[in-house]
Amino acid sequence: MKSQASPPGPLAGRVAVVTGAARGIGAAVATRLARNGATVVLADRDSDPLEAVASGLRGEGLDAQAQTVDITHEADIAALSARLQRQARLDILVNNAAILDGTPIDALTRARFEEVQAVNQNGALWMTLGLLGLLRRSEHGRVVNIASIIGVRGVADSLAYATAKGGVVNMTRSLAVDLAPDGILVNCICPGFVDTRMALLPDGSGHEHETDWFRDIYIKYGRIPLRRPAQPDEIAAATSFFCGDDCRYVTGQILLVDGGVSATF
């Protein structure tokens, strides 16, 4: 009996760009989209781990390409756009690249604040605008911004990060309105606590969710009702919904994927 070929994935024939794809949520999103059939261009400024992720996907027989991109550099965005122009299409952009910041308010400098804004908010905006011409040609244009629960909640020692991610949240709404006439859907994911490198403690002693204070507040006493941090693939699964055809009438939405944290006090 002849074995039947696997059916094409729901994103077959589409081209996606995922920023911050060298690890964590970005790598998980790129993997999910590639396994769903998309041609995925992985973008990150860390070239070695980026190529390792792309190579692993190609080893599965998937269509994955890597390009080193610093989203704060206009020339890098232009180079990515030129590459996509040669491929003649772009359907999906996932703005995930970000840096973490936990600087206390009294120690926050103008330079650090502007650096966090440049990556976490401005980078997503200029990446979107830089690739907008290509997205407008697509019949399936999708932009998904990865923000954070900290963008919708007040958290101590997170002024720069919270300001940037809050900006991404409302930028999503504004872009959704502006790009609706082009048929481009723009949505946002706000992850809660996720088991990634960003959860590492500054002293390198482990992850924040392994500490006694985290286990007491968020696990033992149910500040996270599901009583665990998310895995990157769980964020990728939600992101994938916004990238596909099941959300044809969904735009300008902010989805908190946080294990229920936002439902508690």
What pLDDT, on a 0 to 100 scale, did the predictor assign at position 3?
42
Closest CA to 16 of 83, 93, 82, 127: 93
Pairwise CA distance, residues 153 & 156, whole Å: 10
What pLDDT, on a 0 to 100 scale, did the predictor assign at position 8?
78
What pLDDT, on a 0 to 100 scale, did the predictor assign at position 204?
59
| Whole-Å CA distances, 24 to 80, 167, 218, 229, 231 | 22, 22, 21, 13, 9
Contact status, residue 42 vs residue 30, Cβ threshold 8 Å: yes
Query: Could you tell me the domains of the chain?
Result: 15-194+230-259 (3.40.50.720), 198-229 (no CATH)
What pLDDT, on a 0 to 100 scale, did the predictor assign at position 6?
56
State both tokens at 87.
Answer: 């491929």
pLDDT, one tens digit for every residue, the chain (265 residues):
344 455 679 999 999 999 999 999 999 999 999 999 999 999 999 999 999 999 999 999 999 999 999 999 999 999 999 999 988 899 999 999 999 898 999 999 999 999 999 999 999 999 999 999 999 999 999 999 999 999 999 888 999 999 999 999 999 999 999 999 999 999 999 999 888 765 555 655 666 666 766 666 676 667 888 888 899 999 999 999 999 999 999 999 999 999 999 998 7
- The β-bridge relationship of strands 185-191 and 64-68 is unpaired
Closest CA to 22 of 58, 73, 69: 69
Return the active site residues. 161
CA atoms within 13 A on the CB side of 45: 13
What pLDDT, on a 0 to 100 scale, did the predictor assign at position 141?
98
